[in-house]
Homo-oligomer: A and B are copies of this chain.
Amino acid sequence: MYAVIIAGGSGTRFWPKSRENLPKQLLNISGQETLIQNTVGRISSIISAENIWVITNEQHAFETCYQLKKMGFPPSQLLTEPIARNTAAAIGYSAKILSQRNPDAIMAVFPADHVITTIEPFLKLLKQAETIAKKNHLVTLGIKPTSPETGYGYIKQGKAIEENSFKVDRFIEKPDKLTAEKYLKEGNYYWNSGIFVWKVSTLLNEISLYLPKLHEQLEELTSNTAPIKGKYPYQKLSESGKKIFHSLESVSIDHGVMEKSTNVAVLPAEIEWNDVGTWTSLAEISKNDSHGNVINGNVVSVENSDSIIQAENRLVAALGLKDIIVVDTPDALLVCPKERAQDVKKIVEQIKLEKRSEASTSTSQTRPWGSYTILHKETNYLVKRIEVLSGESLSLQSHNHRSEHWTVVSGVAQVQIGETLQTLQTNQSIEIPKGEKHRLANLDESSLIIIEVQLGDKLDENDITRYEDKYGRDG
């Protein structure tokens, strides 16, 4: 069995922790690892890393490769989209790529950002789904409802296929409260989990029936896909491939195929499943204190109840709150009542309207070589903390509008300025004049941390000319 993990988050519902450039699946929402790491880890005992594929927006490619590196995930099995075009496009594209490797492949599809805590029953269901998929069914897992949720689509079961598996009678859009209560009572309705199992040949055949235009375009997409040159050779669409992708119809696999196909089976899943849809889910998937609070980070809490208080290093002092969400990050804070958690997207929309950066990026950014954090910014200067991972190096680059002053505060830096190479120990400084070619590398075994002070008339990540890059990034 192959896995395709759909990592298409837009970063709005868990704002300000999530941003466009760091959506939910790349975050550690609860526990030790990020959601995408959990998603891979959870299936690793039945699907080995060389059979796992991931599809994500290209801007998340390096971070996804980096997060999954330690789990043995090969970067060449990362497909990238230039833009989100909903699940039919992402799943169809992945299926087409897989079918080239193995036309008989059984393909299981998993959203990258869900939480499942009952792993054994989940894996058992997947094995059962595999056997049913072999009989040319499109199989979906239906989560046994535990409450009358109005935030999910539902699936109504039809006739039994075999033990604990049914034909799907129909798919139902998010119901109102009364209807959801009726479904819960009747018992033959399930939450649509977005987890599917099928043969790639079966799926592609159904796509050709119900989304024939897409089916044609998939062929063109695959012939325009190639791995990039560099340390993380993820799959990338060529410029003409990107154009095709932009022209794809934006439709969900549910609406485009599943609702129309006569060939769909549902496996009732009695598992602990959570789609981590809003900040309030945190109270469902995390340990609450004795007053119903979920508190993390640097918090002084006095007489709060049923609240979600998420801090990082900065002190958050909360007093007398009830059903309030407080999420603090270095550059943005969210405060709202729990009952408004669904409307956090309104905040993100407002921020976008005001053309502010906090919807898309935070002060910390990951890069294939490590990460940086903006510590302070004014019009004419900017202070950054730069961490270069062991063995990594930034591109050979120059800037037209700024000079840079580096002080090594931890580790050892290899610095190239012009044609001169030198080693900078901790507690040494150097200046990079404006316009000068330079490169920073860490050949040491421990991390390299430098404090960079930039000065110039334009302090912008786009003010960069790249001459060489080990990760294959352009100009």
Contact = CB atoms under 8 A, between A and B. Distances in A.
A226 interface: no
A409 interface: yes
Nearest to A320: B340
A411 to B, nearest CB: 11
Interface residues of A, number: 57
B375 A315 contact: no
Contacts of A331: 314-315
Contacts of A322: 337
A253 interface: no
A113 interface: no
Nearest to A451: B453
Contacts of A314: 330-333
Contacts of A376: 373, 375, 385, 451
A276 to B, nearest CB: 19
Contact of A333 (B303, B317, B343, B427): B317
A125 to B, nearest CB: 38
Contact of A346 (B319, B332, B373, B405): B319
A383 B403 CA distance: 19
Contact of A335 (B321, B340, B373): B321
Nearest to A382: B409
A16 B317 contact: yes
A321 to B, nearest CB: 6
Nearest to A429: B405
A321 B337 contact: yes
A373 B426 CA distance: 23
B455 A409 contact: yes
A123 interface: no
B315 A333 contact: yes
A335 B351 contact: no
A350 B318 CA distance: 11
A354 interface: yes
- How many copies make up the complex? 2
B381 A409 contact: yes
A316 B337 contact: no
A181 interface: no
A206 interface: no
A122 B334 CA distance: 43
A344 interface: yes
A315 B356 contact: yes
Interface string A431-455: 1000000000000000001010101
A16 to B, nearest CB: 7
Interface string A329-365: 0111111110110011011001100101010000000
A21 B97 CA distance: 64
A189 B426 CA distance: 69
B381 A317 contact: no
A326 interface: yes
A431 B424 CA distance: 14
A410 interface: yes
Contact of A320 (B343, B378, B429, B455): B343
A347 B317 contact: yes
A380 B335 contact: no
Given A318-B336, A383-B375, A455 B431 contact: no
22 contacts: A15-B317, A300-B351, A300-B356, A315-B358, A317-B332, A317-B333, A317-B347, A319-B334, A319-B335, A319-B336, A319-B346, A320-B337, A321-B335, A321-B337, A324-B335, A333-B333, A373-B376, A381-B451, A403-B427, A405-B407, A426-B455, A429-B431
Give the 9 A-B residue pairs with the shortest CB-CB distance, closest first. Answer: A319-B336, A320-B340, A381-B409, A315-B332, A407-B453, A375-B375, A405-B407, A317-B347, A375-B376
